[in-house]
Amino acid sequence: MADILCPMCGKPNPAEAEICWSCQARLKPLQAQQPPDDSVPDWLRDMRAGQEPEEDAPAAEEAAGDADIPDWLARIRQRGQEEGGEPQGQDAESASDMPDWMKDLRAEGQEPAGQSSGDLPAWMKDEAADSSWLNGLREEGPSAPAAPAEGGAENDWLSSLSDWGGDAAPAETPGEPSNAPQAEASQEWGSDLSDWSAAPQQPGQPEAAGSEDWLSALGGGEQEEPPATGAQVFSWDELPEAGHTPGAAMTGQLPDWLGQMANSEAAAGSNPFLGDGEETTPAGEEQQETPAGFGPFSTPPFSDEAPVPELPASDDTPDWLKAFAADLPGGEEPVAGPFPAEDLPEPGEQPQEQPAVMPYENVELPDWLDKAPPAEEKPEQPPALEGGEDLAMAQLPGWLAAMRPVESVVPQNALPAEEDDRVEKSGPLAGLVGALPGESLATRVSKPAAYSARLQVSDRQHQHAALIEEMLGDEARPQAPRGERSHIPERIVRVVIALVLIAALLLPLASNLRSMPLPNLFQPDTVAFQRIVEGLPASAPVLLAVEYEPGLSGEMQLAAAPVVNQLTVRSARLALVSTNPSGPVLAENLLGAAGVRESLLYTNLGFLPGGTAGLQEFASRPRVAMQYGLDGELAWSTEALTGVEEINQFGAVIVLTENAETARAWIEQVQPRLGDVPLLMVVSAQAAPMVQPYIDSGQVQGMVSGMSGGAMYAQITSQGGAWLDYWDAYQFGIFAAIAFILLGGVVQIFSLLFRRPARRKA
């Protein structure tokens, strides 16, 4: 058994349950059973029963039907509007010969609204008396401006029809006033509006029977054959509000059923103005033929000034019209009919055959306007309410919708409102449209859909992404620096340089050619050095500081050997000291290389720690700073240092160093303590430039620099020795280095000169 959902809480309940077990809300509302309306006639009840709520006729059809007004009819309306009234005499004269209904029509069109009630027929008087709303309409009708709410100029004929209808509406209101049920039905004109539309009935007929007869005659087509658009039922929503001009309202809101009714009359041949020879209005052309059929209803009041054309003498003229024509005074004189003479068609002329002058028909329209897209089809309305035939579909007229404060302020396209045509079926809100769907909202709750955060990418997109990534990666990847092009690998060049230098050193040593000339130009510093040593007293104590490193001992030994040899010649007593840990050993090695170790009195004081501070202490107190010699004995008690208490008691201080800093330390820390004792320097070639300023300043009295300085000193003292064996090797090695530097410079210059044009071309 299917469960029903509670409209309030949405929970399922058994089908037979009347209240919700959860919220105690009533599931089967107490729908009031309306008693059968006895006031509704049977025919209307039957018609309602047979009617199916159909969709409203499209508004576009109405607009199109309004626009298809013939020119002649438009002129009739215009003239009728201009001529607001008629002379009373002619009116009275013609009224005597007119049928009653025609008199009523004329009276409605000529007399003011206030006087119309007096000329109304009895049934209409009662109707007018009972229908207060209708009185209100009469009073307001003439005074209120007949401004068209919608349609504008296209609905002129409908406007005139409304004007006329506004006055004639009470007369055309069906229902005999004496008939009580009919009066009640007339008050419920929302449901009996079909009775209102039955106004053009023949007066004088029995009300009950006449009502059905004229309806059968009028709407015979409707009953015998289904209407084109179905019956239209008005609801209270479509009624004009109080104070609103009915005519104005009717102008734009003429229902379709009215036009269809006229078409059906024309189709049934009941139109008194339609000849037999005229073709009935086809279903598809009803929009254009409707004005012809509605001539009497839309005709303005009669005009005496306008000639009345003859009515078309046709055999198809209905009998009632023929009798009407025969009763006219003058027989064949033109009848002062509802149409001006010039506006009426000629006898035998088919009104339908007149070319309908459409607005802007003779005007050349632009192409874009000719090719204007067809009007959008109106979406289908939801199916009619089942089982709710008595409930009218609520539809707000356009003119009334325009007056709504919300819609007049809020733009229509601001917030597209959802059309909720759902009609409440049950409960206290039954019959209302657009009620909040509590049931659907309650049952609409569902688990939200799970959306994947993973990007759905196709294979093609993957390929494109990979391609872009590769392109970007190439751009962002740093370019490896292009190495300098070298025709010859560096390692080979280095090996070649090493081999050439080794060959340049070994070949002279191996050959022992001594081909290179010995120096005979001597430096002044070397000469001064030699002169000071030469001027030392015999057996003078000399302080010899050995401050060079073992790596440069080859150069320093060759430079110092001539000096040590001369000191040996001068029987000098040597005191060896060094601030370098390896210095004492190098000093011993120097004396051994000179071959004077056994023949020379010397004392190796060893290593003097403390750097410059040690030199300062040694210069100020040499006995305290270096009490013991390298052999562990008291140094200052040895024969070599006999008589030496202070540093200025040495005959000379000779510093052997390859380091300019060490030479500077000795000059700065010891030299001030020497007094007149000369400070001499034997330095390597690399330290000579830094010692040269101290020579110029007189702080250093002589200097021998490098192997060349030693060679000069040997040349000055006419000494031989190992330096002669190395002299050729020394010079060849320097020449080889110079050759490499020059060769490399030339090659690089030429390579740059030949490389630049290539770069410019690139």
Partner 1 sequence: MRAPVATAVAIVVGLIILLGYFVPVGIVLVLRDVLLGWAIVLAGMAALVGIINLVKVHWRKSTVRGERDPYSPVLLIVFLATVGAGFALGGPSNPTFQQVVNAVQIPVETTLTAVLAIALAYAAMRLLGRRMGLMAIVFVTSTVLYLLLNSGILAVDSGAPALKSALGVLQRLPVAGARGILLGIALGSLTTGLRVLMGVDRPFSG
Residues 646-685 touching partner 1, rule: CB under 8 A, are 664, 685
Rounded CA gap, 733 and 499, in Å? 11
Q: Which of 225, 321, 235 is nearest to 265 (CA)?
A: 225
| Residue 693 in contact with partner 1, rule: CB under 8 A | yes
Amino acid found at 424: E
Rounded CA gap, 294 and 705, in Å? 141
- Measured from the CB atom, the residue of 443 and 751 that comes closer to partner 1 is 751
Please choose, out of 150-158, 325-333, 442-450, 494-502, the segment that lies near partner 1 by the rule CB under 8 A: 494-502
User: Considering CB under 8 A, how many residues would be counted as binding partner 1?
Assistant: 75
CB of 668 to partner 1, least distance (A): 9
CB of 640 to partner 1, least distance (A): 13
Q: Which of 120, 115, 317 is nearest to 199 (CA)?
A: 120
Structure tokens at 110: 């000529």
What backbone torsions phi and psi does residue 378 show, to the nearest 5 degrees? -75, 130
Burial of 295 (0-12, 13-18, 19+ CB in 10 A): buried
Give the alpha-carbon dihedral of 260, 266, 270, 273, to 10 degrees.
120
Rounded CA gap, 682 and 255, in Å? 134
Which positions ≥6 away from 308 have C-beta within 8 Å?
A: 334, 335, 336, 337, 339, 340, 341, 344
CB of 744 to partner 1, least distance (A): 3
- Measured from the CB atom, the residue of 148 and 706 that comes closer to partner 1 is 706
| Residue 613 in contact with partner 1, rule: CB under 8 A | yes
Burial of 425 (0-12, 13-18, 19+ CB in 10 A): middle
DSSP state of 123: H
Residue with tokens 């500081």: 545
Residues from 731 through 750 that contact partner 1 (CB under 8 A): 731, 734-735, 737-738, 740-745, 747-749
Q: Which of 533, 561, 586, 656 binds partner 1 (CB under 8 A)?
A: 586
Residues from 166 through 185 that contact partner 1 (CB under 8 A): none
Please choose, out of 264-272, 330-338, 561-569, 619-627, the segment that lies near partner 1 by the rule CB under 8 A: 619-627
Residue with tokens 């030339």: 746
| Residue 508 in contact with partner 1, rule: CB under 8 A | no
Q: How much of the chain is helix, strand and coil, in % rounded to 5?
A: 50, 5, 45
Please choose, out of 195-203, 368-376, 511-519, 649-657, the segment that lies near partner 1 by the rule CB under 8 A: 511-519
Please choose, out of 148-156, 175-183, 399-407, 604-612, the segment that lies near partner 1 by the rule CB under 8 A: 604-612
Please choose, out of 256-264, 277-285, 419-427, 615-623, the segment that lies near partner 1 by the rule CB under 8 A: 615-623
CB of 496 to partner 1, least distance (A): 9
- Measured from the CB atom, the residue of 197 and 526 that comes closer to partner 1 is 526
CB of 456 to partner 1, least distance (A): 52
- Measured from the CB atom, the residue of 302 and 727 that comes closer to partner 1 is 727
CB of 602 to partner 1, least distance (A): 11
DSSP 3-state of 523? coil
Residues from 348 through 377 that contact partner 1 (CB under 8 A): none
Element (DSSP H or E) covering residue 256: helix 256-268
Rounded CA gap, 422 and 591, in Å? 127
- Measured from the CB atom, the residue of 223 and 751 that comes closer to partner 1 is 751
Q: Which of 82, 188, 645, 696 binds partner 1 (CB under 8 A)?
A: 696
| Residue 435 in contact with partner 1, rule: CB under 8 A | no
DSSP 3-state of 117? helix
CB of 642 to partner 1, least distance (A): 19
Rg (CA), the chain: 69
Q: Which of 685, 650, 525 is nearest to 577 (CA)?
A: 650
**Cβ(601)–Cβ(573) under 8 Å?**
yes
| Residue 708 in contact with partner 1, rule: CB under 8 A | yes
| Residue 632 in contact with partner 1, rule: CB under 8 A | yes
Alpha-carbon dihedral sign for residues 550, 552, 554, 558: negative
Site string for partner 1, 538-557 (x = CB under 8 A): -----------xxxxxx---
Q: Which of 497, 509, 527, 722 binds partner 1 (CB under 8 A)?
A: 497
Q: Which of 30, 493, 506, 513 binds partner 1 (CB under 8 A)?
A: 493
CB of 749 to partner 1, least distance (A): 6
Beta bridge partners of 575: 543, 603
**Cβ(650)–Cβ(575) under 8 Å?**
yes
Rounded CA gap, 335 and 328, in Å? 7
- Measured from the CB atom, the residue of 120 and 600 that comes closer to partner 1 is 600
Dump the DSSP string for 357-423.
Answer: --TTSSSPPPHHHHTPPPPPPPPPPPPPPTT-TTSPPP---HHHHHH-HHHHHS-TTTS------PB
Please choose, out of 313-321, 539-547, 609-617, 634-642, the segment that lies near partner 1 by the rule CB under 8 A: 609-617
- Strand ranges, E, within 36-116: none
| Residue 35 in contact with partner 1, rule: CB under 8 A | no
Amino acid found at 9: C
Please choose, out of 76-84, 238-246, 430-438, 515-523, the segment that lies near partner 1 by the rule CB under 8 A: 515-523
| Residue 569 in contact with partner 1, rule: CB under 8 A | no
Residues from 291 through 330 that contact partner 1 (CB under 8 A): none
Q: Which of 146, 189, 706, 714 binds partner 1 (CB under 8 A)?
A: 706
CB of 547 to partner 1, least distance (A): 15
Alpha-carbon dihedral sign for residues 32, 37, 43, 44: negative
Please choose, out of 47-55, 321-329, 357-365, 495-503, the segment that lies near partner 1 by the rule CB under 8 A: 495-503
CB of 499 to partner 1, least distance (A): 10
| Residue 522 in contact with partner 1, rule: CB under 8 A | yes
Rounded CA gap, 432 and 427, in Å? 10
**Cβ(222)–Cβ(264) under 8 Å?**
yes
Amino acid found at 708: S
Q: Which of 584, 651, 678, 702 binds partner 1 (CB under 8 A)?
A: 584
Please choose, out of 9-17, 157-165, 231-239, 493-501, the segment that lies near partner 1 by the rule CB under 8 A: 493-501
